[in-house]
Amino acid sequence: MIAFDFEYYKPDTVEDAVKLYNKLNSNGKKPIYYGGGTEFISMARMNNRYTEAVIDIKGIPECNVHEIKNNKLIMGSAITLTDISEANYFPLLGYIVRRIADHTIQDKITLGGNLMGTIIYRESILALLLSNCDIVLQGSKGKRVVPISDICDKKIGIEDDEILIQVIVDERFLSLPYLHVKRTKHEKIDYPLITMAAIKDKNRTLISFSGLCEYPFRSLKIEEILNDSSLSKKEKIKKVIESITDKILHDIGGSSEYRKFMLGDILSRAFDKFQEVG
């Protein structure tokens, strides 16, 4: 049970939602945009999150789009992880979201919520980073469409009143060979020790990680090493691990040394897998 009260709004348009956000914010109500609500409800119950107004975006048509149009996959931020895995337009993304929480929670977690939440893993972003998708945002300063690489530095950085409306992926990424590996400490359903997503694009390996550092990331430096044909597999793995200069997570799930060891093993499997596909 949530121990504080809040107001509930369900606008029909992005414009109404943004106006409402700013009005409620100026009234000191600390509004939040609300998608699936799994993170908000569980944190609010523990008094770790507070608001006096939630703005549910599930009534906004643009946020519920899920289709391929003009060679682009368009995914609204209010579609659920189950919607993504059931439609399976983007198999790598489908594979990733099927390993986030469990299937009943996947029915509730939205794409936007997973991307913008405070839980550090945000695994669905891994496939989106690899495809360098476009993100459609709208706030009081207007609408903008930006490549994810322009606004994702450790997490997607947007203005407080901006709504993530849609994610747009170039269709050519949907059918590329891919690999997804998720390792957890004990159970299949858990936060990752490491999740790795990779695709093979024009003979180059593109790769992204979650659980390794305090944020999910794609590193062009790592990709340069992986695609350097002058290096042996063993040399590549050693160089990749050495190239990670940010702090590798060291927590109850696993030590940083263990995560490095696991990273080596996962990369080794990735090489073997992609050698098979050429």
Partner 1 sequence: MFEILNPTIITLNINGEDRDVMVKPSHTLLYTLRNELGLTGAKPGCENGDCGACTVLVDDWPIKSCLMLTVEAIGKKVLTVEGLKNAPIQKAFVENFGFQCGYCTSGFLMVCHSLSKIRPNADDAEIQDWLQSNLCRCTGYEEIEDAVKSILVKDI
Closest CA to 97 of 123, 70, 117, 78: 123
Which of 22, 41, 146, 239 lies at the binding interface for partner 1 (CB under 8 A)? 41
- For residue 231, the 8-state DSSP code is S
Phi, psi of 73 (to 5 degrees): -90, 120
Q: Which residues in 148-177 contact partner 1 (CB under 8 A)? A: none
Which of 70, 71, 104, 275 lies at the binding interface for partner 1 (CB under 8 A)? 104
Which of 79, 81, 100, 101 lies at the binding interface for partner 1 (CB under 8 A)? 101
Asked if residue 42 binds partner 1 (CB under 8 A), the reply is yes
Which of 22, 25, 49, 56 lies at the binding interface for partner 1 (CB under 8 A)? 56
Closest CA to 212 of 247, 177, 170, 181: 247
Q: For residues 73 and 111, what is the distance between their CA atoms, to the nearest angstrom?
A: 14
Asked if residue 107 binds partner 1 (CB under 8 A), the reply is yes
Stretch that binds partner 1, among 67-75, 101-109, 173-181, 206-214 (CB under 8 A): 101-109
Q: For residues 241 and 144, what is the distance between their CA atoms, to the nearest angstrom?
A: 36
Cβ-based nearer residue to partner 1, 37 or 264: 37
Asked if residue 200 binds partner 1 (CB under 8 A), the reply is no
Cβ-based nearer residue to partner 1, 56 or 171: 56
Cβ(236)–Cβ(205) under 8 Å? no
SS3 76: strand
Q: For residues 7 and 192, what is the distance between their CA atoms, to the nearest angstrom?
A: 35
Binding site for partner 1 (CB under 8 A): 1-2, 4-12, 16, 20, 37-38, 41-42, 44-45, 54, 56, 58-59, 82, 98, 101-105, 107-108, 188-189
